[in-house]
Amino acid sequence: AEWSAWAFQSVISPVYLLDPASNRYILMATEGLYLKAVGKVSLAHSEGLVGLVGSREEPINLEDAPSHPRYRYFPETGEERFRSFLGVPIIHHRRVLGVLVVQQRESSRCFDEGEEAFLVTVSAQLAGVIAHSEATGAISGLSLTGEEARDVSFNGVPGAPGVAIGHGVVVYPAADLDVVPDRPAEDIELELGLFRSAVQAVCEDIEQVAKRLTSRLRPEELALFDVYLRMLGDEALPGEVNSRIREGIWAQGALKQVVQHYVRHFEMMDDHYLQERAVDVRDLGRRLLSYLQEGEQKDLNYPERTVLVSEELTPAMLGEVPRGQLVGLVSVKGSSNSHVAILARAMGVPTVMGLVDIPVNQLDGKELIVDGFEGQIFASPSADLRTFFQEICDEEDELDRGLEALRDKPCETTDGYRVPLLVNTGLMTDVVRSLSHGAEGIGLYRTEVPFMIKDRFPSEQEQRQYYREQLEAFAPNPVTMRTLDIGGDKSLTYFPIQEENPFLGWRGIRVTLDHPEIFLVQVRAMLKASEGLNNLQVMLPMISNISEVEESLHLIYRVYHEVREEGYDIQMPKVGVMIEIPAAVYQIRELADRVDFLSVGSNDLTQYLLAVDRNNPRVAQLYHSYHPAVLQALVRVAQDAHAAGKPVGICGELAGDPGGALLLMAMGYDSLSMNAASLPKVKSVIRSVSREWAVKLLKDVLLLDSPHVIKSCVDLALRNAGFGRYLRPGKSKSAALAGQAEP
């Protein structure tokens, strides 16, 4: 309404968008008379008042624009007839996308504060929409001006290093209507048939349930089932879905549209009873969808080189791609320390997370380049760009082959300081990779991973098998098994936890102490699995109170005695705690007195010290394990643990970062546990420096106050030591594309 009121006062409101390809502002929208100028008029990046608004990144409100020194005159736009000017930048995630302008014919009337505030609001809302549609255009290879634009990058957050070139396959969580992509029906009759069988199957299910419950429900409750069946009658929901399929939409998409339409309709009603029906429609929709999707994900034809793309990747999705065909991963949600990213690093699959503005569905079937070093992807790349990235892939492979020779060499500095390198595992495939990379034991077995890929809690017997595999593979070396650490971003479909603040909520030890039946079964399975091997260590996650340790120890001792009484010949395992909450940093002595070892979870410790959600790409640039506060905490933990006479290791991602590993070794950490893919690089770095040199580096960086400066300082030291190639791909992309040599 306010917008149209402005129109009456003969206001024009051109929108200029910044074209990343040419770095010019292009007139994209304006009113009536001057429509011809759209897409034709453009300004250099720093030209005119528009350029000034963009470079100052703040609104500019002028009473008499033509008298401003930066005023630029464009006859095509008819701007000379307007005097006052209000320009507001359109900014999305710190990037200027364009400038929104309003101009007014009446002379000497400044736009007032209310109008300025209104325009700022509009611009903030436009930003997300523009970013999204820009991405849509760029995927299909078009620039803002409609010209061909290749090799536009989409930026996310680095998830797992490496480069992948392959074809996108969009996957979505099963039976979730909201994420079903819009696809055309390839065969309308086939889709109609699929939908008919789904309706029939759901009707049968409902009739069966109703029959089973007849004796237990009152007639008015049973009537609900009739309501369901009526909704599934030909005249109701299926009729509408069928007509959409006939219009050429695939069955799942048609179902989504119809269900969403009904749900919105019911939700808007005043009547409470009818509002509730929205829930029923959604439920029916989910049931129908799950029949439509039955067997579908398995039938998915994965290309030879699959780049899996999803709104939200889950560990289960990774497992579905046949071995050897998964080359890259792209996720809209999540950030570099989300658990899926950690899993991807362990599997050595290049990954980009947090690609928030990308219309995922359009990546299906497209050729994609995933640059996991920089956190970027490219769709439908040019031949030059493909060659450039192929060379990086080849270099990486060569580097990995060169490191294979280190497998059986000890991890020892040039002055003879030994630091054992351990691995973090989750799946059996990790174990295989770890052994071939020369790991000296498991520093963290994330037991929740096998739980996450099942559709129910694994039984004691099943768990015992998983655990035995891990223990056997590394015996006699230690295998550290962490008790179930669910909550946060790790949920089990069959044990959903809905919370406002999952990372500050019911997570890790808090869940398992509230559910001793889960904890006891798990510990029992671990202890039985260790029979005859005796290399088990048990580790407790998310400890924030001494009482949690005491309660857990009590339960572990109980299981130990019971299992021995059952006749198993086992030893009491070493028990340790994870230091991943700031509170624990200040209670090292009290903790150390009660357990055998400590292990720092730097991923969570960073998240909680810096108050930065590790799963949120919006704050990814603030998540920094090189933050001085994090380093100080790490130094303190190592000192206090040693003062208490207990060993302390680290199993967060920092340990697998070559620079981070050097600092941790210098701090005195007794072991470093990392994903298998990082191990050879870390070993080669440690083997070529002296501990004295690392201690000096640590001393230097502890004097610095900025995470970025610390990172640069560590990178420089690595480069000087001859390890520049571990930092990121050797060449610069723009130089390669321009056919130039590396500087």
Question: In the structure encoding, which two tokens stand for residue 674, read together?
Answer: 């990392």
Q: At 537, which helix (H) or strand (E)?
A: strand 536-540
Q: Indicate the residue whose CB is closest to ligand PEP.
A: 601
Selection from ligand PEP, Mg ion, none that 602 binds (CB < 5 to 8 A by kind) is ligand PEP
Q: Which long-range contacts (CB under 8 A, 24 or more apart) does 127-130 make?
A: 127/90, 127/91, 127/92, 127/97, 128/92, 128/357, 130/17, 130/90, 130/92, 130/97, 130/98
Nearest to 457 by CA among 525, 364, 546: 525
Selection from Mg ion, ligand PEP, none that 613 binds (CB < 5 to 8 A by kind) is none
Selection from ligand PEP, Mg ion, none that 446 binds (CB < 5 to 8 A by kind) is ligand PEP
Specify whether the CB–CB gap between 290 and 151 falls below 8 A. Answer: no
What is the footprint of Mg ion within residues 547-606 (CB under 5 A)? 580, 601, 604
H-only helix segments in 214-250: 219-231, 237-246
Residue 242 or 606 having the CB closest to ligand PEP: 606
Q: Is residue 604 close enough to count as binding ligand PEP by CB under 6 A?
A: yes
What is the footprint of ligand PEP within residues 426-445 (CB under 6 A)? 444
Q: Catalytic residue among 92, 167, 437, 651, which?
A: 651
Selection from Mg ion, ligand PEP, none that 444 binds (CB < 5 to 8 A by kind) is ligand PEP
CB of 315 to ligand PEP, least distance (A): 12
From its phi and psi, is residue 375 left (phi > 0), alpha (psi between -120 and 50) or beta? Answer: left
Q: Identify residue 179 by its one-letter amino acid code.
A: V
Distance of CA 664 to the CA centre of its chain: 26
d(CA 313, CA 447): 19
Question: What x-and-dash track marks residues 442-461 binding ligand PEP by CB under 6 A?
Answer: --x-x---------------
Q: Which stretch binds ligand PEP (CB under 6 A): 141-149, 283-291, 458-466, 601-609?
A: 601-609
Residue 630 or 697 having the CB closest to ligand PEP: 630
Question: What x-and-dash track marks residues 479-508 binding ligand PEP by CB under 6 A?
Answer: ------x-----------------------
* CA distance to 219, 221, 284, 287, 361, per residue, from 214 (Å): 8, 10, 20, 21, 44
Question: What x-and-dash track marks residues 619-658 binding ligand PEP by CB under 6 A?
Answer: --------------------------------xx------
Q: Catalytic residue among 92, 167, 339, 627, which?
A: 339
Selection from ligand PEP, Mg ion, none that 256 binds (CB < 5 to 8 A by kind) is none
CB of 715 to ligand PEP, least distance (A): 22
The correct pick among 580, 640, 657, 670 for binding ligand PEP (CB under 6 A) is 580
CB of 485 to ligand PEP, least distance (A): 6
- Classified as helix, coil or strand, 352 is strand
Size of residue set near ligand PEP by CB under 6 A = 11
> Is 651 in the active site?
yes
CB of 336 to Mg ion, least distance (A): 14
What is the footprint of ligand PEP within residues 196-255 (CB under 6 A)? none
Dihedral angle at the C-alpha atoms of 48, 49, 51, 57, nearest 10 degrees?
170
Selection from ligand PEP, Mg ion, none that 652 binds (CB < 5 to 8 A by kind) is ligand PEP
CB of 578 to Mg ion, least distance (A): 6
Residue 19 or 485 having the CB closest to ligand PEP: 485
Peptide bond into 476 cis (omega under 30): yes
Residue 310 or 425 having the CB closest to ligand PEP: 425
Size of residue set near Mg ion by CB under 5 A = 3
Specify whether the CB–CB gap between 656 and 674 falls below 8 A. Answer: yes
CB of 648 to ligand PEP, least distance (A): 14
Residue 332 or 540 having the CB closest to Mg ion: 540
Nearest to 122 by CA among 88, 93, 92: 88
Strands (E), 161-217: 163-170
* CA distance to 35, 459, 584, 594, 661, per residue, from 664 (Å): 62, 38, 18, 24, 5
Residue 440 or 604 having the CB closest to Mg ion: 604
CB of 631 to ligand PEP, least distance (A): 15
From its phi and psi, is residue 354 left (phi > 0), alpha (psi between -120 and 50) or beta? Answer: left
Q: Identify residue 174 by its one-letter amino acid code.
A: A
CB of 600 to ligand PEP, least distance (A): 7
Selection from ligand PEP, Mg ion, none that 651 binds (CB < 5 to 8 A by kind) is ligand PEP
Q: Which long-range contacts (CB under 8 A, 24 or more apart) does 675-678 make?
A: 675/342, 675/345, 675/346, 675/423, 675/424, 675/430, 676/346, 676/348, 676/423, 676/425, 676/430, 676/433, 676/434, 676/437, 676/439, 677/160, 677/345, 677/346, 677/347, 677/348, 677/433, 677/437, 678/345
Size (the chain), residues: 743
CB of 558 to ligand PEP, least distance (A): 26
- Sites of contact with ligand PEP (CB under 6 A): 342, 444, 446, 485, 580, 601-604, 651-652
Q: Which residues are catalytic?
A: 339, 651
- Sites of contact with Mg ion (CB under 5 A): 580, 601, 604
